[in-house]
């Protein structure tokens, strides 16, 4: 998401709606875990659906060869020779054949290395056989490359020295892995519009970019720039990342769409093919640029498309006001209707929420994926273990947008929905190099949906602890690497949890490591123990491993608000005997709740 905004892996690992588990054929459809589901109001109801849901592991289409463990893994520990590579540019020419569900591609990769190399390792699903390879314009013999497990090993004609480059051209093609339950599963979606026309899309966050193009399948494998040439049958469009340079019409009516994008996350390079119509406009940024906006939608949905497009400007204004400049003002804000729920594909976010309405008054899938342009695409985590920085922030921007639009009541309602989803089965951050699946799959020991909803509540608690001024400065430094972003003075960047904690400490002038040690590195929540005797209220924090946790607590006594410092994790307050006392009356703190635990247990039928 850089975004498991797989968008849903953009919302939590829960299932929403009566159509969960179905491939969308133009009417109803299927969410996936995390940044992708129908974001309805009562998220707790999804917990009971999750208990009866099929396992979240990826599947294969009947008759399709099993996907290899190498292709299945995205991210994780990277060996030294792969880590030394940097993908400076990729020129990717792909022709898509919906009638036969095949594709043919030629990828020209400009690779730089910081260490000597005698071979190059490039990720590509072996379901897409390689027919030709050249290095610096010299064709290699067939025995010079192999791909037994989903990683092409290319023997170099001559060794590469540290600091040198090679241009590698790979010709490949075949039947790509099919996303059987997109976006729960990754791969290509071969769908049809309501009137039977091809409707094709890709989702690749979980298994990675190697499902349909040769790439470096780890977050730091992000290409510096991409030229995409997508050829599709007559009558179809192919919106994708970045700027549209031109559309060539071939003699038989096929068209080739040339897109150019800078610094896309590897999994956010996307194919979208359908007989799309467009609605376009321009947003006048508060930072100066005029930003082109386009929504590609299916014919026959004009009124709904126009209504969704009307949300683009206000949502963009919110993000620019709260965080800073839209990072891709020189390209576009693009959204495309897809046969799956959604995904944060840079400047061409996937949208498949079927224009559903919620009490919040805005389309939460659209808004969530837009958040990833800042949290995931501009600022990317180099390790999946730090993806709470993508999803926690993107999730938290939703109630903050509700607050921007309607005030505190909407904010509180949305935060309450999130609170009821938090599962606390694993720490949000484990301090290890992780694969995507290890983070998003609860059955693999990952935090799964907690990187969304618990991440949002951690940020809520942090904002209330340090105040809005410091919180938004921390956020800007995280996203842009500086507190004063303006168009042209920042570049896409990678970040980590330790860097984020360092930013918080620098901005606040305090060591808040204790805060993150408990909230991010422990599964269990801190518990606030209250004891009232006579005219005294005693409070103490109980934490896993008795970790320090001096988080102040607000207490309301007969309508009067006071703050208890909690030095050393303990505090006390004189209260008149018989006074009405409410601890943390504004719910500013993420803490253990016996009521929530009981409700979750009841929802699961225990």
pTM (2 d.p.): 0.91
End-to-end, the C-alpha distance of the chain in Å comes to 35
Q: What single-letter DSSP state applies at residue 20? A: T
Summarize pLDDT for 424-478 with one digit per residue, the tens: 999 999 999 999 999 999 999 999 999 999 999 999 999 999 999 999 999 999 9
Locate 22 and state its tokens: 């179905």
Higher pLDDT, 534 or 41: 534
Strand ranges for 365-468 from DSSP E: 379-381
pLDDT score of 26 more than 60: no
**How many other β-carbons are positioned within 10 Å of the β-carbon of residue 286?**
13
pLDDT of residue 69: 95
Higher pLDDT, 204 or 181: 204
In the structure, what pLDDT confidence band is assigned to residue 8 with cuts at 50, 70 and 90? very low
Q: Strand order of the sheet with strand 102-113?
A: 138-139, 130-135, 165-174, 102-113, 85-97, 225-232, 255-262, 243-249
Q: Which helix (H) or strand (E) is 532 found in, with range?
A: strand 527-533
Q: CB under 8 Å, gap of 24 or more: what pairs does 158-162 form?
A: 159/116, 159/117, 159/118, 160/113, 160/116, 160/117, 160/118, 161/116, 162/84, 162/113, 162/114, 162/115, 162/116
pLDDT of residue 273: 98
Summarize pLDDT for 87-134 with one digit per residue, the tens: 999 999 999 999 999 999 999 999 999 999 999 999 999 999 999 999
pLDDT of residue 13: 28
CB proximity list for 52: less than 8 A, separation 6 or greater: none
Q: What percent of the chain has pLDDT over 70?
A: 90
N residues, the chain: 606
Q: Which helix (H) or strand (E) is 244 found in, with range?
A: strand 243-249
Task: Please provide the average confidence, as pLDDT, over all residues in the chain.
Answer: 90
Summarize pLDDT for 478-498 with one digit per residue, the tens: 999 999 999 999 999 999 999
Higher pLDDT, 10 or 592: 592
In the structure, what pLDDT confidence band is assigned to residue 59 with cuts at 50, 70 and 90? low
pLDDT of residue 455: 98
What is the C-alpha to C-alpha distance for residues 374 and 376, in angstroms, rounded to an integer? 6
Summarize pLDDT for 338-384 with one digit per residue, the tens: 999 999 999 999 999 999 999 999 999 999 999 999 999 999 998 99
**How many other β-carbons are positioned within 10 Å of the β-carbon of residue 284?**
11
pLDDT of residue 11: 33
């Amino acid at each position: 998401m850089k975004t498991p905004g797989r968008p849903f892996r953009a919302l939590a690992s829960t299932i929403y709606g009566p159509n969960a588990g179905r491939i969308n054929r133009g009417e109803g459809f299927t969410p996936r875990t995390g940044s992708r589901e129908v974001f309805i109001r009562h998220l707790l109801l999804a917990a009971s659906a999750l208990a009866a849901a099929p396992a979240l592991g990826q599947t294969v289409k009947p008759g399709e060869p099993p996907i290899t463990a190498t292709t299945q893994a995205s991210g994780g520990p990277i060996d030294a020779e792969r880590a030394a590579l940097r993908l400076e540019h990729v020129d990717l020419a792909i022709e898509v054949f919906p009638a036969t569900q095949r594709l043919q591609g030629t990828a020209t990769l400009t690779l730089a290395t910081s260490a000597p190399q005698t071979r190059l390792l490039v990720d590509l699903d072996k379901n897409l056989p390689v027919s030709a390879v050249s290095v610096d314009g010299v064709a290699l013999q067939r025995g010079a490359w192999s791909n037994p497990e989903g990683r092409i090993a290319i023997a170099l004609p001559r060794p590469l020295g540290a600091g040198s480059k090679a241009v590698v051209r790979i010709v490949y093609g075949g039947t790509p892995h099919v996303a059987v339950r997109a976006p729960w599963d990754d791969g290509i979606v071969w769908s049809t519009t309501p009137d039977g026309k091809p409707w094709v899309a890709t989702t690749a966050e979980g298994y990675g970019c190697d499902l349909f193009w040769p790439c470096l399948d780890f977050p730091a494998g992000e290409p510096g720039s991409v030229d995409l040439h997508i050829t599709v049958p007559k009558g179809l469009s192919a919106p994708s990342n970045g700027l549209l340079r031109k559309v060539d019409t071939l003699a038989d009516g096929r068209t080739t769409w040339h897109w150019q994008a800078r610094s896309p996350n590897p999994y956010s390079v996307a194919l979208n093919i359908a007989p799309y119509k467009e609605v376009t406009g321009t947003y006048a940024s508060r930072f100066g640029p005029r930003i082109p906006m386009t929504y590609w939608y299916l014919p026959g949905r004009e009124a709904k498309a126009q209504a969704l497009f009307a949300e683009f400007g206000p949502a963009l204004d919110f993000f620019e006001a709260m965080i800073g400049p839209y990072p891709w003002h020189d390209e576009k804000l693009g959204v495309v209707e897809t046969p799956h729920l959604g995904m944060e594909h840079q400047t061409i976010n996937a949208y498949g929420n079927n224009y559903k309405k919620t009490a919040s008054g805005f389309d939460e899938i659209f808004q969530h994926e837009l958040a990833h342009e800042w949290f995931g695409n501009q600022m990317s985590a180099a390790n999946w273990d730090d993806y709470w920085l993508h999803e926690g922030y993107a999730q938290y921007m939703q109630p903050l947008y509700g607050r921007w639009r309607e005030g505190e009541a909407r904010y509180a309602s949305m935060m309450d929905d999130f609170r009821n989803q938090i599962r606390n089965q694993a720490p949000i951050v484990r301090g290890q190099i992780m694969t995507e699946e290890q983070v998003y799959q609860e059955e693999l020991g990952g935090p799964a949906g907690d990187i969304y909803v618990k991440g949002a509540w951690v940020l809520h608690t942090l904002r209330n602890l340090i105040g809005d001024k410091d919180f938004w400065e921390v956020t800007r430094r995280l996203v842009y690497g500086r507190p004063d972003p303006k168009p042209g003075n920042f570049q896409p960047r990678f970040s980590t949890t330790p860097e984020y904690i360092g930013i918080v400490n620098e901005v606040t002038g305090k060591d808040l490591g204790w805060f993150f040690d408990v909230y991010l590195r422990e599964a269990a929540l801190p518990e606030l123990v209250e004891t009232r005797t006579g005219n005294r209220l005693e409070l103490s924090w109980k934490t896993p491993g008795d970790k320090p946790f001096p988080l102040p607590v607000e207490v309301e006594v007969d309508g009067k608000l006071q703050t208890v410092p909690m030095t050393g994790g303990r505090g006390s307050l004189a209260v008149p005997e018989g006074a009405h006392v409410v601890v943390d009356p504004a719910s500013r703190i993420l803490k253990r709740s016996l009521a929530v635990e009981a409700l979750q247990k009841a929802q699961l039928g225990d």
